[in-house]
Amino acid sequence: MLYAIIATDVANSLENRLAARPAHLERLQQLKDQGRLILAGPHPAIDSNDPGPAGFSGSLIVAEFDSLGAAQIWADADPYRAAGVYASVMVKPFKLVLP
């Protein structure tokens, strides 16, 4: 089943985000290589694809996991959590309708 991982960043966490980004992307690449990643990306803190020093306000990942518990365990192990980037992370079942 698909699950949405919806994370909200701590204010002013851009430096920590950039430092942890390679490890974060490596985990996402593993999901992609397994054919389980639907989409992933950050929420810019301003209305721009390149928010510069404004940074990001959070992230969204939609991926396939065996269960809600498995998705939660995966989300809890995200390098952004360990680096103090995420203030909160919500994991919810997701039903893809379109496209």
Domains of the chain and any CATH numbers? 2-94 (3.30.70.1060)
Q: Give pLDDT tens digits along the chain (99 positions).
A: 999 999 999 999 999 999 999 999 999 999 999 999 999 999 999 999 999 999 999 999 999 999 999 999 999 999 999 999 999 999 999 999 998
Residues 6+ apart with CB under 8 A from 58: 6, 7, 8, 9, 42, 43, 86
Model confidence, pTM: 0.95
